[in-house]
Structure 1
Amino acid sequence: MGEQGAKSLRGGKMEDVIFAGTSGRSPLGRAEVSLTIDNSDGALPIDYSEVTISRILFRSGQSEYQINGEASRLLDIQELLSDSGIGREMHVIVGQGQLDAILMATPEERRGFIEEAAGVLKHRKRKEKALRKLDSMQTNMSRVQDLTVELRRQLKPLGRQAEVAKKAATIQADLRDAKLRLLADDYIELSKTLTAEVADETALREKRSKVEAELETVRKREEALDSEAAVDSPRLVKAQETFYQLNSLREKFRGTQSLAQERSRFLAEEAEEARTAGRDPEALEAEAQTLRGEETALQSEVQMSRTVLTEASQALAAAEAALVAEENRIAAALRAIADQREGTARQEGHIKSLAARLDAMSEEIARLTKARDEAANRRELAQREYATHELEIASADSGELGLDAAFEKSKSDLAAARDAHQELLDAERTADRSRNAIESKLEALELSAQSRNGAAALLREPRGLATLGSLASLIEIDPGWENAVAAALGQLADAIVVQDISAAITALSTLRSEDLGQADVLVHHNQGSAAANLAGGLTSITAHIRSSSINDLIADLLGKTVVTETAAEAADILRSHPDVTVVTRDGDFFTKSRARGGSKSTNSLIEVKALIEKLRGELQTLTNECDRLKFAISTAAQEIEAKQAEFDLALSKLNESDARIAAITEQLAVAGQHMKSASAEVERLNAAIAETSAAKSRDEGELQSAQSQLTQSGEIANPDHSQADALREEVSNLRTTEVEARLAVRTTEERLHSLAARIKALVEAAVAEREASERAISRRGARARGAVISQAIAESAYEALIHIERSIAKAATERAALEEARSIREGETLSARARNRELTAELEILTSSVHKDE
């Protein structure tokens, strides 16, 4: 029911006891358990025969408790069940895992079980609860007392403030009366001013009415002019459009008239030309008949020329056949000679090409050998450079060892300097915080020492009293004995010292009259006092107190007070000497009839003074420590700067060394690449030289073989060309005869075709002339009619132009009149608008003047 631990309920958290849901049911938001108890015997202190206790646990972790359906606290349920013996810590119900704890219980735990069985546990719990309430109440009472003291201390200043408030109220009433009189005078003056302003406003209103009337007249006139402009503007636009349209129409009619006149003149001239053009068709037919006779004679001549051409062609064919046979014979002989000569020439060319190739190979071998030697030289140079760079890298690496060591040393020194500087900063911050804390505590203690009830008030303002000062300020105490002296003096530790009893009475009267609180006043008579006689082995507390002015007063107050280290020694001293007062070093106070001690919530003025002196010493020590740390921090900062400079120098040297090594490495790589490329080139050139030498050997052998073959070949005799030349001359003569016959046939045929074409053209021209004559007669009639129509159009256009000129003159007159009216109206409109603006500005000024005082 009231279990708060999830593990006792076999769960990881309290919400594990709530149904989490299944695949068919949704989870619940709470879990509830109820316990019903039969209370018919009245075992529970409640007026019910049956008691149902319920607990509802929500997923948020909150719980609700109910007794018979009424909400209640868990504490109420625990108290209800504690009287029945089944409370939260009762063992009437032993849970799982608790039996072994009961069996293995210690005697103290068994005592708890016995107290529970006897019914004592609930009373002990109630007692503890009551004691806690009493402690809380005591704390509240202390707080109330502090508030009461504070309020009592503030009552008198509040009374003075009340008197000041009364005086302020009287002054405020006088001030209010003076203000009312001033306001009355202001009212009279303002009334007079208002009367004058009303008269001025009336005149301004009348003037404004006149201006408004004139402005309305001007606006109406402006509206009328705008209306007239709205009516006349379309008319003017329409008149301008009519004028422009008439001008355009005039230009069109002028063009039409010019075009008609030009067309009439052109048609008349063309008709005259048509009458004189053309040839006679009869003359053309007669000429065609004459040409037909010539055509018949040319046809007979063509037939004869064709017979001659046939005979020449046959003779030419026979001569060409004989020439071809002779030429074939000669060609065969020449081919044999040519073949022999071609073989000889080919062999000679082959020999020459072999010789040229051998020369080229020799030159190539020489070039490759020279290139190989150069590549070998480059390889040797690259090898020397590579070796040089390797030596440089080795020397640079050996020189970098010292740089690495110097860099690591400067780096570690810089880190150590920074760590030391940070440690000094942390120490300085810690010391500064401690100093600030001590300063705050010292300031609070000094304020506490200055404001302690009435004694402090008298010390701040003596008010003419002959005070020597506070008791704490007049004595010096050995270190470590402040608590003992404060315990011995008790309330007198905060007392003040005066010179006589009258001063004491005056001081008390002042405290009572001014309500400054209470104070202890000690009277110093300065008459000397004999020191009290103490038994042997006892140490008076005055041995630890020194004063230059009130030793006798200290002896009177503490003459029979002795000091000891522990309370047990104090008890032994009281058994032997019951008439003395004993205080311990820790501040415990003992007499034969009472004792006072323990821890204190407040300190006496003596203890406060001692604590102030102690804190001042600590403050001075911390101040010195802060100054020392600041000097050490500045020294450490300078050392960091020096170490940083060393680190930067070592780093720069290391970077320079790395850069130099990187440059040498790059040069080494370049030299290696050059060496590899030179070696590869030497190998390639050696292979090329070997290949070229092998080819040269092969060509030399082939050259020797070709030269031997050329020496062994003989000569062939040339053929006879005389018969072929005679046949060729005969063929040439026959070809000339055949060509002349062919040309004669071609010329006669061309003349015949030309005559036939001319005859056909004359016949067609005669027919065309007859048809053209008929068409010309028809066209002359059409042109005559077109010329008449064009003349009529020109005359009509002239008459239309006369009417258009009259309309243009009328339209121009109307447009000029409308433009003149518009100019006059625009001038009047501008004047009206200018007057309107002037009246509007004047009206605004008048309106502002009328309403400026509203």
Structure 2
Amino acid sequence: MRLKQIKLAGFKSFVDPTTVTLPSNRCAVVGPNGCGKSNIIDAVRWVMGESSAKQLRGENLTDVIFNGSNSRKPTAIASIELIFDNRDGRIGGEYAAYAEISIRRQVTRDSQSAYFLNGNKCRRRDIMDIFLGTGFGPRSYSIIEQGMINQLVEAKPEDLRVYLEEAAGISKYKERRRETENRIRHTRENLSRLNDIREELEKQLKHLDRQAKAAERYRVLKEEERRLTAELYTLKYGALEAELAKHQAEIQSLEVAFEQAAANQQRLDTEIEQCRQSHADQSEGFNEIQGAFYQLGADIARIEEAIQFNQERVKQLELDLETVAQRAEETTRQLDMDEGEIDALKNQIARIGPEVREAEFADKAASEAASALEEKFRQWQRDWDEFSRTAAEHERNAEVQSSRIEHLEQLLTRLKSRHEQLETDAAAPAPVASDEVSTLAAEIEAVEDRRRQLEAEIDECMKELASAREDLMIRERNLDEARNDLHDLRHELASLEALQRAALGREAREAHDWIESQGLSRAERLGEVLSVVPGWEQAVETVLGDHLQAIRVGSLDDHVSAIDTLEDGGVTLMEASVDVNMSGDLPSLASLIRSHDLHLGSVLQGIYAAESVAVALAARQNLNPGESIITRQGVWVGPDWIRRYVIADQEAGIIQRAQELETLNLRVEEAEQTLAELTVRLAEGRSRIEALEAVREERQADINALNQSLGELKTDHGVRRVQLEEADARRARLAKEREELQSQINEESARLEAARAALAEARGAQEGQSERRESLTRLKEETESALTEARDRARASRDH
């Protein structure tokens, strides 16, 4: 037997269909690292039934499927086919007549694996049975990989024994022994379970009658309960309807009250806004009135100063009037004196006539001189009056400007003090900084973003939780289905095993004591270990008949002496050690037996196998005496006879039933493994739900804390914002008032400067008039002196 070809498709790096041809007994595969040399050995192991992903350098079995690359899409299936050259007949049994044997395995993305033998679908067990004892298998010594020689050299005796047994060809017997022991163990377990079930059923039968009566009574009471429950629900429904109507009326009234409260709130908001607008307008009016007040104060101070100046001027004029009155009295007295003197002079003139005329010339000259001096004195008086008026005006102007300057300085002092107070108020730190409001707004935005993020996480968590719960329900349903399937499989297995035991005569009591005495109660029956090529079960059962119940023994000589002690029933003992020696055009029926440790030549010698009755009848003429042909359908044809025997139902399908039992055992193992996996997955699903619930509760707690913090922040932000708006409005009012005060200060300062300039001008004029006064005073003294002299001369001249 030699490996001839390897066909790979979609396996690891072999994405395209590839055929590796091995033309001789010694071939080599060479290439750079990563080209797929090791994948060829992995393919051979995988087809031979390797089930460990670790041995194939992967994590799970689906890793052998090409997973795609940058330029190629992943494939959905991986397939490997091995073609063996069997011309030496190393593989016996039904496949000994085939020169080539094809073994193919394929796997899909959903982990569905299938085996094919010569194009026919088969089990992994069938593949392994063919190569048992040949030294060829997934982990056999025929595949030597890197490090395996060192393992053989350093192997323990127990490990080395495995390789030696495989090389000696006895591994298949150990495998069959293991299978037989497993069957025996399962049989014992099934018997124990059946006995337990029978005892339990016997115990439960007594309760079933009581339960039936209780169930009937329960049905009556349940019907009564349903009726009373319906009546109760009807009464509750009426009460709930009345309560619902009451609650709806309350809700409507509350909604009306809520709408009224909302309207009142809106009205109050409008009034508050109007009050704020009115307050702003009144503040502007107050500022205007305050400005007018300050302007009126300045005007009043100016008018008071003018009044004070007029009063002082009146007093000065009264003093001047008194002086003029005194001067008028003096002038009147002087005139009286002058008139007296004139009268005296006239008398004197009349007395002194001529002297008078002479004196008249002198007097005339003196009068003219006195008149000139008096005219000069009157001119001086006019000049003096004009000078006094001008001086008084300048003095009054200086006093007015001084009073005005004093008032303006006081007013400027008050205005500057007010301006400084406003600047102090404006420079005073605001109760709330704009940075604090901005910081609070940023914090609110950050908290809201965090809340939205947490809400999104909760939504995602809820979606995952819903998906996890749905997945958990699916897993629970799958677990229940798996439990039901396992229960059904176990029940079916127990039924088939019981039926198989009955068919194989294990339940028969006639020869039971003799079999027990010979120690054969646990010995294998032929039908239990017989394996037949699929489709030929009925033919083999037809030929073997009662031999299927035969007990396999190592040697008949050990039991021949006790055969006479069998008193009741019958028993068949078989060594199954005689080989078949036949040659002909048709295959022998023995070649269709796949159990290689069974040699049934003693009962199958001379019996050929044909696909149909027509083939059997055509070959009947070539049969020798003692030879016959059996068809797939169980029609048995001899040289001169034909037989069709329908086996009883209990005995029918023993071989097929054995295969079904084997399949059921595998299915039960797979179901148990699936049940364990589903249980683990269910626990994982519940753990995931608990974790998601914990995450959701944690996120909800965070959201609640954020909501509370957000409410506090919004309240603080609203208060700070209102305070900031009021502070901004106050600063705006202060700025406006400062601008108005600054404008008034500038105006009053300009007026003060003008008043000071006017005062300086008046004082300058007063200083210039002092020289004029001195000049007029000197002129007055000179004129008065000259006038006195002139008058004295005139008087003197008159006296003479």
Same fold (TM over 0.5): no
Q: Whose Rg is larger?
A: 1
Greater relative CO, 1 or 2 (CA 8 Å, sep 6+) = 1
So what's the TM-score if we normalise by structure 2?
Answer: 0.31
Give the structure with the larger helix fraction. Answer: 1
TM-score by length of 1: 0.30
